Amino acid sequence: MLKEFKDFIARGNVFDMAVGIIIGAAFTTIVNSLVGDVLMPVLGVLMSGVDFADKFIALDGQAYANIRAAKDAGASVISYGLFLNAVINFLIVSFVIFVLVKQVNRLKKAPPSEPAPTAEEVLLLREIRDSLKR
């Protein structure tokens, strides 16, 4: 069983997957910062100072200044603003990954291969054709 585990770990796919997970985690941090620190404030300004992170519905019917106050009061809340942030985050990540994969696939395309050698019968027919023309 130890040998099987060693063989499994030694395969290239496992290492590739591990590198992908580590880079993905780092990339997620960058995208979260892009969304939270760059895009959402701009969207908030464009929407007259609206901050999506503070959008919520308190299920107890009371009005609260912000989510923290509602949670401190013990109210259940639907944080639809945080959900919108997550959706925007997902869309940005998926678009960036789409562009990245598209570029990698473009770079990976095999160079055009040389045409297959002409069959011997075709060469013979061409010789006959050329002889008849003369």
Domain map of the chain by residue range? 2-129
**Tokens at 40, concatenated:** 């959402």
Task: Give the per-residue pLDDT at 77.
Answer: 92
For residues 38 and 92, give the distance between their C-alpha atoms in angstroms, rounded to a whole number.
12
Mean pLDDT of the chain: 82
| HSE toward the beta carbon, residue 66, CA cutoff 13 A | 7
Does the pTM of the predicted model rise above 0.85? no
Please check whether residue 56 is in contact with residue 67, taking contact to mean a CB–CB distance below 8 angstroms.
Answer: yes
In the CATH scheme, what is the code of domain 2-129? 1.10.1200.120
- Amino acid in the structure at residue 125: L
Q: Read off the pLDDT of residues 35-65 as tens digits, 9 standing for 90 and up.
A: 778 877 787 788 777 667 788 899 998 889 8
